[in-house]
Structure 1
Amino acid sequence: MKISSPLRYPGGKSAMADLLGQIRTLNNLGGYTIAEPYAGGAGASLTLLYLEYTKKIFINDADMAIHDFWWSLVNQHKRFLDLLSSTEVNMKEWFIQRDNYRKRNRISRVRRGFATFFLNRCNRSGIIVNGGPIGGIEQNGKWKLDARINKASLQSRCKKIAEYRERIIVSCDDGIEFLDKMHTEKTMFFIDPPYFGKGPTLYLDTLNTEYHQALANRLRSIADKAWVLTYDDCPQIRSMYSGWAHIRPYSLMYTANNRCIGNEVLVVPKWMKLPNSQGSSVVRW
């Protein structure tokens, strides 16, 4: 499947789009919009939008820097694309963009959104906060800073998002608050919160155990709505959803060499059907 998101994201779920499409069809949710409370790279919802599975998507992320990236593409795409075209990729620029990222509200939303994008593409594994530059500060590693920067490809992805901007709604709410605002809509939620186990090492806005439990409680209160939740597979998460929701373990695979990314769980309300076998080449269960 062609990559839709310009962002590289730890545990990104672009590859889940095929399976989500199957779940939508199986549960007669074709007329529903798609909303991601913890959007990150938003690859799954973008793919579903491009395939015309939905008329509109909602991209929400509590991380202001990630929000600024999406806001820039939807509202100021020409300025963003100009920055993408004109910005060099070298260590001098990496330090400039890191400083811009850290300035938060002391810089324009577009420049901070671009800094977020730049660091995401240039840092190891796309990890903005603690990742460090690909190739190291001295650029003496096997791969160099520009290893994940293909400007032509990235410009194409960004332009496509801009083309669909009238059908993309961007927000910066806490994920649970977003659910509270949206749960009356005819919406299918794809909920991919920060990992329970590794979240603190991967995300700026990580969540504690109490928050994960609060999310479970909120989802239980809207178990009559359409939602699909993914998590890292661990006893704590299984315990939170055991007895009142379907829990399906799965593995997400790289298509190039069939290598497993990791074991996760997919959770849905009990009324929702899951396919016994599914056609995605990258999801195993």
Structure 2
Amino acid sequence: MKSVIINDYDIAIYSIWYAILNDTERFINDIINAKINIQEWEIQKNIYNKSLEEKIYSYDLAFATYFLNRTNRSGIITGGPIGGKNQNGKYKLDCRSNKSDLIRKIVRISDYKNKIQLYNMEANDFIDKIILRHNPNEIFTFFDPPYYEQGKNLYTNFFKHEDHLNLQEKINNLSDYYWILTYDNKDEILSIYEDYSKYLYSINYSASNVRKAKEILIPSIKVKLDSIDSINIETI
């Protein structure tokens, strides 16, 4: 691996990455010592809400966001605690918080920190200032913009229709680059990317009710896709 470039405009998600890369030992110790219960969930939720208002990196925001990601339904901050506040659901708050497994992954990421570049940039700026400065044959980009329909309910930084259009205009400048783009399966997205090849693939959703839905995958003209293992893609 030569290097990995991570960009997230959500300051909370960016903060997680920054803390893991730059304050690894403290982050691991806090995972070890964290109590996984509703009382702690309430504390971390309050820290998240307060810290997010500052709109700048903070360690407290990083850990609170990570705690909520591991204890909320589907890892969505607005999803509410797994099992509900009364913990009477089928799954309990700690079902996604295997501490030894989480720590192992964090250590693994930290081992490569000298090969990881981290940014907190708006997508269009990131394309102009980072992607387009690289040789097209030496970089592969995965774009994961907010969902078109449910973005406002799932993300701190969601897109309006014109934002999706603006991103598409920027991506048009990347015809010589390798990239893929994923979206929820909506007619508006199919229309915006009407000049591109489009595929459907299945994904499990469990923010409220477990269900299987199809998402759109759009590759650049330089990327060739095939179904692999358990992932089956269908041409639209």
Matched, 1:156 2:104: yes
Q: CA deviation at 1:251?
A: 2.5
Q: CA RMSD in A?
A: 2.1
Partner of 1:60: 7
Matched, 1:118 2:70: no
1:97, 1:283 → 2: CA distance? 38
Partner of 1:248: 199
Q: CA deviation at 1:161?
A: 0.7
Aligned length: 224
Equivalent pairs: percent with the same residue? 36
Instruction: Look up the equivalent residue of 1:103 and give its one-letter code.
Output: K
Equivalent residues in 2 for 1:34-73, closer than 5 Å: 54-73=1-20
Aligned partner (choices 219, 222, 226) of residue 268 of structure 1: 219
Contact (CA 8 Å) 2:15, 2:58: kept in 1 or not? Answer: yes
Under a length normalisation based on structure 1, what TM-score does the superposition of the two structures give?
0.73
Aligned partner (choices 167, 176, 190) of residue 224 of structure 1: 176
Equivalent residues in 2 for 1:48-197, closer than 5 Å: 54-104=1-51, 105=54, 109-128=58-77, 130-182=78-130, 183-186=132-135, 187-197=139-149
Partner of 2:231: 282
Residues 69-105 of structure 1: CA distance to partner in whole angstroms, max 9, x if unpaired?
Answer: 0000011111111111111111111111111111223
Under a length normalisation based on structure 2, what TM-score does the superposition of the two structures give?
0.87
Aligned-partner SS, 2:133: coil
Partner of 1:43: none
Contact (CA 8 Å) 1:199, 1:207: kept in 2 or not? Answer: yes
Q: CA deviation at 1:269?
A: 2.8
CA 1:201–1:76 in structure 2 vs 1: closer, same or farther (change >3 Å)?
same
- Which fold has the larger relative contact order, with Cα–Cα distance below 8 Å and residues 6 or more apart in sequence? 1
Task: Flag structure 1 segments of 5+ consecutive residues without an equivalent.
Answer: 1-53
CA 1:252–1:127 in structure 2 vs 1: closer, same or farther (change >3 Å)?
closer
Contact (CA 8 Å) 1:196, 1:231: kept in 2 or not? Answer: yes
Contact (CA 8 Å) 2:15, 2:57: kept in 1 or not? Answer: no
CA 1:252–1:136 in structure 2 vs 1: closer, same or farther (change >3 Å)?
closer
Task: Flag structure 2 segments of 5+ consecutive residues without an equivalent.
Answer: none
Aligned-partner SS, 1:221: helix
Instruction: Look up the equivalent residue of 1:274 and give its one-letter code.
Output: K
Q: CA deviation at 1:240?
A: 1.0
Q: CA deviation at 1:135?
A: 1.6
